[in-house]
Amino acid sequence: MFIVKKQKRLFYEFFSLIVLSQFSLMALHNLQHIDNINKIEMTLYHFGGQNLTESSAYSIQLFSDKDSYDHGEEVLINAYITGGGSIEESKLIGHISESLLSGQVQVELFRFGTSLKGEWEGYKPIIPRQIEAMPNRFIVDLSEGYFTYRQETPILWSEGDIRDPDKNIVYPPISIRFSINNDAPSGDHKIEFIFKYKSTNDEWEICEEVVIIHIKSLVEKYAIAISALCTAIIGGCIAVISWVLSKSR
């Protein structure tokens, strides 16, 4: 009996070892697959120079200034682009529904110039930003200076806020402003953006991102006032009922 139990135990241990080995091989295969797809390459840079890697890979991040808006209010969306690799040409493409928009879209961009002889060599943003009035579907070209490094730091101009040293004000790399139509439907609205860039191997890549903004309904807009009014009415009713009951005793 003891020998049978021991044989069974050895069989289960052997079977478990085989199963664990298979899972380990699968995990190793998946890890290798992830490494091959999402490979992080060492970036080589010199201050103010090109962002050089074996291949280009970028993503765009978008942030609205608020979660919800009233009709007629201005919407501000700030854009940051991060990644690595040389870019020969790039564009930002946006689409805002006509039913949502009042007037034109304002796209605020930096233009870049090179430093003067004897100064730090590299691209520098020109302040103030350039403002372009665009329709609801727009395409703007981005300066190659966005994708070069700042002075004394391996951070791209497109990756963080840019400070005006004279006024001590910081600006996002790219800003999109527009006003909401007074007749726009209430609820959630998608605003689509595409960052399209061409690497040194003449291949175009795209990165898509969506910003969702919420337009308040009348109930949402006056929710606090309605709640306060209802509370006052209920409080008044309770007071009247209490007064009537006290008189009837």
Domain ranges (residues) in the chain:
1-39, 57-221
The pLDDT, as a whole number, for residue 142 is 97
Local structure of 49: helix, strand or coil: coil
The pLDDT, as a whole number, for residue 66 is 94
The pLDDT, as a whole number, for residue 24 is 38
Kindly report whether the global pTM for this prediction surpasses the value 0.75.
no
Q: Which two tokens stand for residue 230?
A: 């209802």
Q: Which segments within 96-237 are labelled E, that is strand?
A: 101-114, 123-134, 137-141, 149-150, 153-156, 162-164, 169-171, 174-180, 187-199, 204-215
Q: What separation in angstroms does the CA of 132 have from each of 115, 140, 177?
A: 25, 9, 10
Mean pLDDT for 204-208 is 94
Radius of gyration of the chain (CA): 30
- As a whole-number percent, the residues of the chain with pLDDT over 70 amount to 71
- As a whole-number percent, the residues of the chain with pLDDT over 90 amount to 53
Each residue's pLDDT tens digit, 33-68? 323 322 222 223 333 445 545 578 999 999 999 989
Contact at 8 Å (CB) between 58 and 85? yes
Local structure of 158: helix, strand or coil: helix
The pLDDT, as a whole number, for residue 117 is 55
Q: Which segments within 5-73 are labelled E, that is strand?
A: 57-64, 68-69
Mean pLDDT for 23-33 is 34
The owner of tokens 């949402």 is 220
The pLDDT, as a whole number, for residue 28 is 33
Q: Which two tokens stand for residue 50?
A: 């090109």
The pLDDT, as a whole number, for residue 21 is 42
Mean pLDDT for 117-132 is 82
Architecture per CATH, domain 57-221, reads as Sandwich (2.60)
The single-letter DSSP state of residue 12 is: H
The pLDDT, as a whole number, for residue 80 is 98
Q: Say how far apart CA 146 and CA 156 lie, in whole Å.
A: 7
Local structure of 178: helix, strand or coil: strand
Mean pLDDT for 1-15 is 42
Each residue's pLDDT tens digit, 141-184? 999 999 998 877 889 999 999 999 899 999 999 999 999 999 99
In total, the chain counts a number of residues equal to: 249
More confident call, 56 vs 110: 110
